[in-house]
Structure 1
Amino acid sequence: MRGTRVEFARRGLSADVGPYRLLASLGTGGMGRVSLARAPDGRLAALKQVHPALAHDPGFRERFRHEVLASRRVSGAYTPPVLDADPDAPEPWLASLYIAGPTLQEAVDAAGPLPEDVVRRLAVGLVTALADIHRAGLIHRDLKPSNVLLAADGPRVIDFGIARASEGDSELTRSGAIIGSPGYLSPEQAQGQRLTPASDVFSLGGLLVLAATGRAPFTGRSTPQTLYNVVHLEPDLAAVPPAIRYLAEPCLAKDPLRRPSPSQLLDAVGALAPSPRPWPDAVHALITGREKAASRALRGRRGKIAAAVVGAAAVVAGAVTVSVLLAQSTPQAAPPAEAPVPRPTTPPPPPPPPAPLSVAGLRHIDPCKVLAGLDVRNRMGFTGCAFVSGGQHEVSVGVPSVPIPAAEATETATVAGMPALVRAESDRVRDRCRATVALPDDPESALSVDVARDDAAGATAELCEDAKAKLGEAVLAITGGSARLPDENTTLGKVDACALLTDLEAQPIFGVLPTDRFSSTSHSCTWYVADSASVSVQLDYYDSPPNADETRGERITIGGMTAYQRSFTETEPDVCELRWLQHGTEGQPREVASIRVRPPAEGNPVDTCRQAREVADKVVPRLPR
């Protein structure tokens, strides 16, 4: 070890730091230097020593001590553990387990864009690491390709929980300073706003795009251009495979409240088969090279281990990482040195409720409550209600319904401050008038009121005035909140059918990723798989008891629910449907769910009933009981 001692002395390093024996220099960064070290138990460690100039700053020491305590709280399969630290040493230091693997950037440079299944495996590791970090009350704040190492058994997220000093400045952080890597900053971080864990989710989306394409989603010709792209432009996802785009695109939403949580992302990825070699061969070759280089250093070979061989660049990046406790209002806030790291006292705010006059908002509306003072004749599923008004007047409300085509309108009007279209119809038996206002977020959907009377004898003008008045009442009841369903989520009426099955969940069932998703009503969704094959989920509401046709077929049990399975071999060959009663009893209003699978028009026969049951296995647990 004499040669090693001489080498470290020549470089200004001690041969021992605490109980750790330094073996080789991995590099230097803005915060200090990092060395490969041997722990007392023989394990290899990445040991970081703080620059002396920073060590003389009392404020830095306090924050460094605070962050060391926070770092110890993060543990998981995809984060390297902190082995030891001494924030009170003349040169404060921290040792974490050494990871012999290239950075994500080095892996992509060596192997090119990673295959789809490899990126999904990478996503699971990164999402799990973020969940561990956020659970400990931290935000990473600098999730970038050089802070992700690819070990032989999976990825590792490094450099969390350690405060950073600005290059050439002993001040740890400054209010309003932008800290992080421009290509992977969240928009709120780029604008110096207060961060939430959703900021890390945005950065994760950028990493998945890089891994799948070899290019970051917001790269510009300069740092200011890149920051502008992050804040104002949509990501470049043209080359991202559909399955990866399905994961990455929601993460890159500008609004933090619209980004998925780590648990939602894990659900979207789904189960993965274990693999002894998770990376391409070129990446495993880099891992082997780093393992051999570290082994030589452990045997006493002196000298600096090149960053290209051991991934020093990634370790040194730890010198320029920022994390902040969720409970802190600014990065400068820190508790006294002896105080425990505080946990957040309040949960993150829930996402804002949907706008009342939107498709999502109307799922929270009871259509039979939008018109007061009228007798309810019958409920028309989840999206409508029929009333009786003034003897023979019939009033129907649709929430939502199909708007009146502009070319077919007989009148334009303003109803409750919104533009409305009116259409009058009359025949020998019945007069009718319909008034609609298009939903602001979806002009293809509308709120409508129909007024009809059998003996009106051409009095459509009177009916249209009534229709416009009642449409105004309906708008005010919906926007004012008086027509909302109870807060308890016990009805299928609030459920978005398109949220019950992800594209990635459908892929293994049908052997291919769905090509499109379409919602023909607010309570149905159809996934088009390939060559006319499709799977549809429909949520219905009936006032009447079930008829014989609805209960025909084989009785099976799915998720504790009795379902009827039948094939339409006569009218639609090989189409299979599952239908079950979700709420209600015979003779009472009933909420019914159904799944229908249609096979491809050509090709080998498929067991559509098996596919329908597999879809039901995903859907049933997500429905309110």
Structure 2
Amino acid sequence: MNYRIEHVLYRNDVTKRAFYKVKNLELGMFYGLKVIEIDDAQLLKQVKNEVTALNRLPFGMAPKCLQYWVQGKQHYLLLDWIEGKPLSGLYQRPPQTVMEQEQRLLVAQKLAQKVADIHRVRMLHRDIKPDNVIVRLQGNNVQDVLLIDFGLANQQRALEEGTPFYQAPEQSLSRHVRLTESVDVFSVCQTIHFLMTGQPLTLTPNFMNDDWAQPIAELLLASGLSKSLSALLVKGLSFDPNKRLKQSLTLNRDLYNLLRSSKTGKY
């Protein structure tokens, strides 16, 4: 392999996954290298699904998988290198200034826009969370927001999928429910809560598993968010997918309007 590891972005001995920034020694170009140790047929299918999903997406939506190879149990995905940082590493506390607040609203709006673009080609991500959102900054200016890790995008439903806190209720409780854009809307709204507070909103199902045990509006009171943003998250985090914001395009529009209101001091 003519690639040299330049930086370890993450390496997890429990999940047996790693992601590196590597340099092609012949071309002098940088790439992302995802390494997954696989000894399970279902996981192998997920990896192959990710390769298919990435290469189905139009250019600019997500990094393309340029090469895929196997050595023993190690599976390697060579990806376009995206210069940027995971949202989870950038924002770990509430914004301290109006400028920081506007920057994070812009990140949220660009994320919703990117998700809307993905939905436009009839694909669901199904695992949106701060770790899977890459933010490209130039100084304090947000250049772009991209999604990574499309391992669930082409996969058949399992008993449970997604990541705790960020998965929509129907991804863990309702195996029979057909997934729609609203699962990604839910995950984006939890990611927005993380953006503005440093953590997702803790939501607990009631005894009947048909709604949240405590109204979302009450939980949001302690988050210190504006009334307008809280109202938007209430709609996006509804337990019932039929009552939730159904389209990422609508979420994108509402966030765009919030961002404009913020710049005029009416946020």
Same fold (TM over 0.5): yes
32 and 116 in structure 1: CA distance in 2 versus 1, 3 angstrom threshold = closer
**Aligned match for 1:105, one of 80, 88, 95:** 88
- Give secondary structure in 2 for the equivalent of 1:256: coil
SS in 1 for 2:28: coil
1:141 counterpart letter in structure 2: R
Contact 1:71 1:82 in 2 (8 A): yes
Matching of residues 37-116 of structure 1 within 5 Å: 37-39=22-24, 41-54=27-40, 57=41, 60-75=43-58, 77=60, 79-86=61-68, 90=72, 91-109=74-92, 112-113=94-95, 115-116=100-101
**In structure 1, C-alpha distance between the alignment counterparts of 2:45 and 2:130, rounded to whole Å:** 29
**For the residues of structure 2 that align with 1:26 and 1:105, how far apart are their CA atoms?**
12
Report SS of the residue matched to 2:165.
helix
Residue 129 of structure 1: aligned partner: 114
Cα-Cα RMSD: 3.6
Maintained 8 Å contact 2:30/2:81 = yes
Answer yes or no: is the 8 Å Cα contact 2:126–2:153 preserved in 1. Answer: no
Q: Which residue of 2 aligns with 1:189?
A: 171
Q: Is the 8 A contact 2:54 2:65 kept in 1?
A: no
Alignment partners' CA distance in 2, 1:254 and 1:199 = 10
Which aligned pairs between 1:479-490 and structure 2 lie closer than 5 A? none
The correspondence of residues 515-530 of structure 1 with structure 2, limited to 5 A, is none
Separation in structure 2 between the aligned mates of residue 89 and residue 250 of structure 1, nearest angstrom: 47
Is the Cα contact below 8 Å between 1:185 and 1:230 reproduced in 2? no
**Match of residue 140 from structure 2:** none
Report the CA distance between 1:126 and its aligned residue.
Answer: 0.8
| Bigger-Rg structure (1/2) | 1
Q: CA deviation at 1:214?
A: 2.7
The answer to whether the 8 Å contact 1:218/1:230 transfers is no
Of 253, 258, 261, which residue of structure 1 is paired with 2:247? 261
Unpaired stretches in structure 1, ≥5 consecutive residues: 1-15, 165-171, 272-503, 515-625
Partner of 2:127: 142
Q: Structure 1 residue 50: deviation in Å?
A: 2.5
Alignment match, 1:118: 103
- The letter of the residue matching 2:80 is L
Offset of 1:202 from its aligned partner?
0.7
SS at 2:33 equivalent? strand
Report whether the alignment pairs 1:513 with 2:266: yes
Give per-residue Cα distances to partners, 1:403-453, cap 9 Å, x unaligned: xxxxxxxxxxxxxxxxxxxxxxxxxxxxxxxxxxxxxxxxxxxxxxxxxxx
Cα offset, 1:154, TM superposition? 3.1
For the pair 1:201 / 2:185, whether they are aligned, the reply is yes
Indicate conservation of the 8 Å contact 1:50/1:92, yes or no. yes
CA distance in 2, matches of 1:233, 1:160: 32
On the 8 A contact 1:75/1:81 being kept in 2, the answer is no
> What is the percentage of aligned positions where both structures have the same residue?
24
Matched, 1:248 2:236: no
| Partner SS, residue 126 of structure 1 | helix
Structure 2 CA distance, aligned partners of 1:183 and 1:47? 27
The 3-state SS of whatever aligns with 2:31 is strand
Query: Tell me, which stretches of 5 or more residues in structure 2 are unaligned?
Result: 138-142
The reply on whether 1:158 has 2:148 as its aligned counterpart is yes
Task: Report the count of equivalent residues.
Answer: 246
**2:23–2:30 Cα contact (<8 Å) kept:** yes
- TM-score (norm. length: structure 1): 0.35
2:237 maps to amino acid: L
- Tell me by how many angstroms 1:200 deviates: 0.7
The alpha-carbon distance between structure 1 residues 51 and 260, as it changes in their structure 2 partners (threshold 3 A), is same
Whichever structure has more helix as a proportion of its residues is 2
Per-residue deviation, 1:180: 2.3
- The aligned runs of 1:217-616 (5 Å cut-off) are 217-218=201-202, 231-235=212-216, 236-238=219-221, 239-258=224-243, 259-270=245-256, 504=258, 507=261, 511=264, 513=266
The one-letter code of the counterpart of 1:48 is K
Could you tell me how far 1:130 is from its partner in structure 2? 0.9
Determine the structure 2 residue equivalent to 1:216. 200
> For residues 104 and 49 of structure 1, what CA distance do their matches in structure 2 show?
21
CA distance in 1, matches of 2:135, 2:31: 16
Task: Note closer, same or farther for the CA distance 1:122–1:105 as it changes in structure 2 (3 Å cut).
Answer: same
Pair 200,31 (structure 1): closer, same or farther in 2 beyond 3 Å: farther
- Aligned-partner residue type, residue 144 of structure 2: G
AA at the equivalent of 1:97:
D
* Residues in 1 aligned to 2:18 and 2:261: alpha-carbon distance in whole angstroms: 47
Residue 183 of structure 1 deviates from its aligned partner by 1.4
- Structure number with the bigger relative contact order (C-alpha 8 A, sep ≥ 6) is 2
Q: Pairwise mapping of residues 10-21 of structure 1 onto structure 2 (< 5 A)?
A: 16=1, 20-21=3-4
Gap change, CA 1:211 and 1:64, over 3 Å in 2:
closer
